[in-house]
């Protein structure tokens, strides 16, 4: 990002305007396409403006966590592939990718969107649900796009047939029991203004943001402050209000 672009983005935001002419509480054009990866048990491709994330769900057989016997296991992973941005480097996930995966994980897990207790195969064996998030083009707001892709992919996931303790790939017995559709809305703070869905140029000048994981019944299931700025007490309430209001719009793309 050049200094000039940053300065331009900042000047506009301080005057209540955005580079692409959107309102402060307006998403870019969003599309969600499910079932895009043939080999995955579930998948979704999400475009938020030029930002593109694909989520793939694979089911494996494994052992439950010792503190949750008889329950399926959910694992979220994220990679920022160098194909998506000159700023991404090859190698094991860095702290930003790890943080993104962990926030998406918490939003899904804490919302109890999947009935994990219905994923036992035998007393010792359960289904493990691996959600892998791949960023294909980074143009800002990766977290909201990734969470949307993850939830969309889960609603698209089929449970494979199991015979003699082995998964029969390509044959299915039903759909994953998904009972909620949590989404994440990140609300960004600049001066005394709040905005959603920042593009890359805006992200580089925003000092702080609050990612809010929200369930269908408006319950807050995850919060994560990001960035090196600070919030006032009242900011948090305002940001949650904006996030909850916008969550319905985001969820409408999951229908």
Partner 1 sequence: MKKEVKLFVNGRRVDSRLPEQLRPIDMKVGVVSRADGSAEVRFGNTVAMASAYGPRELYPRFLQEEEAGILRVRYNMVPFSVDERKSPGPDRRSMEISKVMRLAIEPAIFLEDFPKATVDVFVDILQADGSTRVTGINAASLALASAGVPMRDLVSACSVGKIESTLVVDLNGVEDNNSESDMAVAMMAGRGEITLLQMDGELDKEEVMKLLSFARENCRKIYELQKQVLKEYREGE
Q: Which stretch binds partner 1 (CB under 8 A): 50-58, 124-132, 193-201, 223-231?
A: 223-231
Residue in 14, 89, 166, 241 binding partner 1, rule: CB under 8 A: 241
Q: Site for partner 1 (CB under 8 A): how many residues? A: 39
Residue in 12, 37, 73, 244 binding partner 1, rule: CB under 8 A: 244
d(CA 101, CA 146): 9
Residue in 225, 245, 249, 253 binding partner 1, rule: CB under 8 A: 225
Nearer of residues 46 and 100 to partner 1, judged by Cβ: 100
CA 90 to chain centre: 21
d(CA 78, CA 134): 6
Q: Which of 199, 154, 212, 193 is closest to 1 using CA atoms?
A: 199
d(CA 224, CA 104): 10
Nearer of residues 111 and 141 to partner 1, judged by Cβ: 111
By CB under 8 A, tell whether 228 contacts partner 1. yes
By CB under 8 A, tell whether 89 contacts partner 1. no
Residue 169: burial class (beta carbons within 10 Å; 0-12, 13-18, 19+): exposed
By CB under 8 A, tell whether 216 contacts partner 1. no
Tokens of 87: 């700023």
First to last CA, the chain: 36
CB of 89 to partner 1, least distance (A): 14
Nearer of residues 67 and 164 to partner 1, judged by Cβ: 67
By CB under 8 A, tell whether 68 contacts partner 1. yes
CB 105 within 8 A of CB 146: no
Q: Which residue has the tokens 């082995």?
A: 166
By CB under 8 A, tell whether 146 contacts partner 1. no
Residue in 59, 188, 240, 242 binding partner 1, rule: CB under 8 A: 240
Strands 183-190 and 193-196, bridge-based pairing: antiparallel
By CB under 8 A, tell whether 102 contacts partner 1. yes
Question: Interface with partner 1 by CB under 8 A: which residues?
Answer: 67-70, 95-96, 98-99, 101-102, 106, 109-112, 210, 215, 218-233, 235-237, 240-241, 244
């Amino acid at each position: 990002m050049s200094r000039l672009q940053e300065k331009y983005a900042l000047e506009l935001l301080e005057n209540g305007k955005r580079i692409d002419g959107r309102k402060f509480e307006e998403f870019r054009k969003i599309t969600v396409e499910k079932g895009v990866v043939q080999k995955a048990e579930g998948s979704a491709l999400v475009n938020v403006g030029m930002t593109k994330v694909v989520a793939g769900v694979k089911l494996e057989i494994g052992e439950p966590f010792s503190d949750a016997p008889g329950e399926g296991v959910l694992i979220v992973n994220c990679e920022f592939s160098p194909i998506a941005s000159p700023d991404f480097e090859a190698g094991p996930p860095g702290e930003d990718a790890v943080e993104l995966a962990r926030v998406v994980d918490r939003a899904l897990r804490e919302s109890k969107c999947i009935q994990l207790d219905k994923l036992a195969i035998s007393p010792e064996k359960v289904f493990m649900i691996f959600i892998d998030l791949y960023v294909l083009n980074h143009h800002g707001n990766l977290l909201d796009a990734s969470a949307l892709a993850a939830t969309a992919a889960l609603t698209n996931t089929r449970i494979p047939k199991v015979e003699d303790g082995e998964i029969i790939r390509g044959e299915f017995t039903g759909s994953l029991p998904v009972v909620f559709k949590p989404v994440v809305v990140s609300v960004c703070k600049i001066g005394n203004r709040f905005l959603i869905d920042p593009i890359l140029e805006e992200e580089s000048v925003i000092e702080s943001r609050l990612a809010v994981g929200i369930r269908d019944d408006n319950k807050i299931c995850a919060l994560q402050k990001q960035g090196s700025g600070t919030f006032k007490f009242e900011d948090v309430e305002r940001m949650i209000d904006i996030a909850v209001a916008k969550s319905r719009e985001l969820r409408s793309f999951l229908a």
